[in-house]
Amino acid sequence: MTRRNNVEAVFGLGARNAQALPVKQFEGALSVEFILANPWWIRAVLGSAPNTTGSASDFTHTFSEADTIPSLSVENEITSDTASVAALLGCKVSTCTISAAVGELARVKLDMMYADEDEDSSAAGNVAETFDVFSMAEASLEFPNGSTISDIQNVEVTINNNPEMVYGLGSRVGQQLPVKNRSYSARITRPFEDSATFLEAFYGSATGPNATVAATATLELIFTNGLSTTNERSITFLFGETKIDEHNMPQDSTALIMEDLPLIMESCTSVIANNSTDTAP
């Protein structure tokens, strides 16, 4: 968490030291990192409340893009001899990063901006997590969807909402936090096994750099608990047309040859979560 008063030292003729230290606009920023388990945070990233279908402890929640994203309040309690509780007001997700790597649990990082805050001495009770966590062991990457790519070492997906705090005369706290253009990117690392999977998609042809490069129709990142039918728990991120921006392939005599691939996606078609909860909180 970072707070800024934007203090400006004011100097004047006749003295080397500052004559006043006025504060300007208040700025608040918050980063939260957690292990991927429940899907409810996705609404704060994409904007729309989930469309829920299903019954009998087998429900499907479909999240989709919206032109706006919801504003959140976040409580931060720090207890020592005296409890300090900060309510962070007007939070919006600036950047979301979803990552998974071999030998690791799937993780999420939300970078947020907020407009104002209140301090109190009591907080709402913690809500215990009821969902199992997801790991790389049951994750998969499809490029395009339906075509699973083997031996992915790590994947990182970034969603950027580009919010901008709007201030106005008469107050030093933010008045509005609209979101601007939304962008999607990813980074994949995989041992080099063939040219067809990624290198030719980067070229746009099978023989070398083409005059034009067609986008791959989709990119899909899937996390499951490894079970099936009504016991399955999953979160599936489906992105639209995708192009490989760079193809990096360092070669060292003591290591495997790895493809390191930054990608850019046009859109997020949907995020679909399957679990036993009938209603999102």
Q: How confident is the model at residue 112 (pLDDT cuts 50, 70, 90)?
A: very high
259 class by beta-carbon count within 10 Å (0-12 exposed, 13-18 middle, 19+ buried)? buried
List pLDDT tens digits, range 8-33.
999 999 999 999 999 999 999 999 99
Can you read off the two tokens belonging to residue 57? 């402890």
pLDDT at 46: 98
pLDDT at 57: 86
Instruction: Please give the angle made by the CA atoms of 32, 77 and 99, to the nearest 5 degrees.
Output: 15
Mean pLDDT of the chain: 94
Q: pTM, whole model, 2 decimals?
A: 0.94
Tokens 């399955």 belong to residue: 232
Tokens 């067809």 belong to residue: 196
Q: How confident is the model at residue 124 (pLDDT cuts 50, 70, 90)?
A: confident
Segment (H or E) for 249: none
Can you read off the two tokens belonging to residue 91? 């939070």
pLDDT at 123: 74
Q: How confident is the model at residue 230 (pLDDT cuts 50, 70, 90)?
A: confident
Q: How confident is the model at residue 81 (pLDDT cuts 50, 70, 90)?
A: confident
pLDDT at 234: 96
List pLDDT tens digits, range 133-153.
999 999 999 999 999 999 999
pLDDT at 68 over 80: yes
pLDDT at 253: 94
Distances (CA, A) of 271 to 48, 135, 187, 245, 261: 11, 18, 19, 23, 23
